[in-house]
Structure 1
Amino acid sequence: MNSISKVEKLFNLFNETAVILQEELPSSYLEALAETGENIFHGDVLQDELSEMTKKRLLKQYNSLQLKSYSHEDVRKGFQLAILKGMQENVQPNHQMTPDAVGMFVSYIMDKFMEGKKHYTLLDPVVGTGNLLFTILNNQAHRNIDSFGVDIDDLLIRLAYVGANLQEQSVQLYNQDSLEPLLIDPVDAVVCDLPVGYYPNDVRAAEYELKSDKGHSYAHHLLIEKSMNHVKKGGFLFLVIPNSLFETEEAPKLNAFITEQAYIQGLIQLPQSMFKSKAAAKSIFVLQKKAEGVTAPKNALLAELPKFSNVDAMQSMMKNINSWFTEQKSK
């Protein structure tokens, strides 16, 4: 059985059992998906209110699945497809998942910057369903990563919790506003696909340097400041940012904050073709918090990625990126 059919088989099982639960509970598809994920993890039907016939139908499906025979990445992808189906049925602006290709590339870039570290701590302050975080953990299985995720949306964090269990990933998850105080020690690295928009809590925003002088503050600016404050000296921030980040009225203040606090290590523009419009396009922004012994790179890693499907152009780009890292080592 090849990898694609394994992912499809997992998706079909997640989907079919979620639909059965959705019809009888009643609940939304995503809520039912979280319920069926819990059932699969425990190897049982946990919902007492279901009819005996429904329980038997579900158990027959669950018993046909040998989760141990699937890789963590197969499980992530199968579960992700089911989540995407649920999100398309009930579109909410804060229910958006980092595309797989972006997650894989962020993981690759992180792997290069964190080279030599067998163990490190990692925080995703807007973890959502955990797809970006799990992509990194699954692709850096050669490292011992203590990871933390925070999200204000209780359904998304529940899906992240279920996904973590199914993928056997030990992640500490917190259901709260990440701009409130966190009960997490400073970490070695922060990864975040920044949600773009305004932060409604002006009282909390007032505690931040990057608060707006008038009206609501940008949530993504405050999250950059929060991430900077929550990473150790010399630690890294891997941020998926809108390309328009430095084009707003508040940009000069943000620029001054970053210049004071960190060194820009890299800015990698994601392929334009990945986004619905030029205005929606994003980049990967890599910062290193200033510390004794940490210096700015002679030249930051600047790149504009071709389409991921253009194999030759991607190979050429990867060669250039690898050369940049080799030059940094020889400094």
Structure 2
Amino acid sequence: MDQSNIERFYDYYDRIADRLYREYKKPYLEGMNEAFNLLLDDEMKDEYKEEDINDFISWKQEIVDVEFSREDIRRSVQIGMLKGYKHTYSTNALITPDTMGMIIAYFIQKLYKEQPQTIFDPLVGSGNLVYTIANVLKQDIMVYGVDNDFLKCQLSRNLGDLMDIENAMFFQDTFTYYHQHMDVIVTDMMLHNDGTYMPYQVLNHHIDALRENGYLFAIIENDFFEQEGANIFRQEIQKKGQIFGLISLDKRLFSNRPKSILILRKKIQETNEQNDFLLIEMPPFTDQDGMENTLQQVDQWIAARKDVKA
């Protein structure tokens, strides 16, 4: 990761998005997407003044020969997403913090014998969580995502293309999407408590997409198991797999609603499946000794189980 490259890539699309915002009243996030379209496809969705197009092309030429790493691009785009959400008075909570992606990537590396070939986020948003994980894993991986927001779906697709990560992003309701044999599923649960608790529905629907013995990682609020229907959710999940673990995250990562990472595992055929539960409280990332001790506990727990590796 190169800080100067992060800034250089940001300057490219920020100048275009800012011009489109000021001169054409185009929302900042749409302007970002237009800048990405120009970089990827040499075209833009709308027609603009010739002098503006000439500026955009000249700004593009300033960076086309720069070698950006995947993390340069992802972190640069993340800065723009934060600015775009500020423009629309949206909460920054719509972007999953990098630390959560890094923690999930660590557990993927520990729980899978081989590098997963496919990873799926059923609530992908702009893609920061799933691409953070893909970058930590480093090797090539096919990324799938679903979102019912068309612009976010476009942004997540373009972000993957900019990083040269093979991806398939689908603009549709997550409950209408069906797939089979995904190696791993990751998602950050949105705030939703209107009627039936949506996170239960999302997890119950998409665990079917996992291959046998695969894992699903969901970022949940700490009152997840206190919602109406929690017992029914447990019963339904146990028909398909098991609640494998719960990682409590440092409360200082969140402004007001602490979260954890729930790990579900797709049902396996062996009848000697162990039922002990991984329960970990993650210390602050700044506590190096505490973090090292915690990860040693995880390693020991995994080593003691013969049925863990997927």
Same fold (TM over 0.5): yes
Q: 1:262 to 1:119 in 2, by over 3 A?
A: closer
Quick one: which of 97, 100, 104 aligns to 1:99? 97
The code of the aligned residue for 1:111 comes to Q
More displaced, 159-168 or 52-61?
52-61
The code of the aligned residue for 2:227 comes to T
1:159-200 residue CA offsets vs partner (Å, 9 max, x unmatched): 1111111111111111000012x253342221111113146x
- Structure 1 residue aligned with 2:128: 131
Give distance in 1, aligned partners of 2:63 and 2:254: 36
Using the size of structure 2 for normalisation, the TM-score is: 0.91
- Structure 1 residue aligned with 2:70: 72
- Structure 1 residue aligned with 2:263: 286
Matched, 1:189 2:184: yes
- Structure 2 residue aligned with 1:235: 214
Displacement of 1:266 in angstroms is 1.6
Please list, as runs of the form range in 1=range in 2, the aligned pairs for 1:102-117 lying within 5 A after superposition.
102-114=100-112, 116-117=113-114
Conserved? CA contact 1:148–1:171, under 8 Å: yes
Give distance in 2, aligned partners of 1:54 and 1:167: 26
- Structure 1 residue aligned with 2:298: 321
More displaced, 152-161 or 7-16?
7-16
- Structure 2 residue aligned with 1:300: 277
Using the size of structure 1 for normalisation, the TM-score is: 0.85
Conserved? CA contact 1:233–1:289, under 8 Å: yes
How many percent identity over aligned positions?
28
- Structure 2 residue aligned with 1:246: 225
3-state DSSP of counterpart to 2:293: helix
Quick one: which of 255, 260, 278 aligns to 2:239? 260
- Structure 1 residue aligned with 2:173: 177
More displaced, 293-302 or 99-108?
293-302
- Structure 2 residue aligned with 1:165: 161
- Structure 1 residue aligned with 2:48: 50
Give distance in 2, aligned partners of 1:276 and 1:135: 22
The code of the aligned residue for 2:126 comes to T
Displacement of 1:95 in angstroms is 7.4
More displaced, 226-235 or 75-84?
226-235
- Structure 1 residue aligned with 2:287: 310
1:67-115 residue CA offsets vs partner (Å, 9 max, x unmatched): 651110110110111011101221346970111111111111112112x
More displaced, 101-110 or 150-159?
101-110
Give distance in 2, aligned partners of 1:283 and 1:295: 28
Give distance in 1, aligned partners of 2:118 and 2:97: 23
Q: 1:67 to 1:255 in 2, by over 3 A?
A: farther
Displacement of 1:265 in angstroms is 2.3
Conserved? CA contact 2:141–2:166, under 8 Å: no
Output the aligned Cα RMSD: 2.3
Unaligned runs of 5+ in 1: 200-215
- Structure 1 residue aligned with 2:25: 26
Conserved? CA contact 1:150–1:173, under 8 Å: yes
Give distance in 1, aligned partners of 2:287 and 2:263: 24
Give distance in 2, aligned partners of 1:65 and 1:294: 57
Conserved? CA contact 1:265–1:296, under 8 Å: no
Displacement of 1:220 in angstroms is 0.8
The code of the aligned residue for 1:145 comes to I
Please list, as runs of the form range in 1=range in 2, the aligned pairs for 1:31-42 lying within 5 A after superposition.
31-42=30-41
The code of the aligned residue for 1:125 comes to P
Conserved? CA contact 1:45–1:55, under 8 Å: no
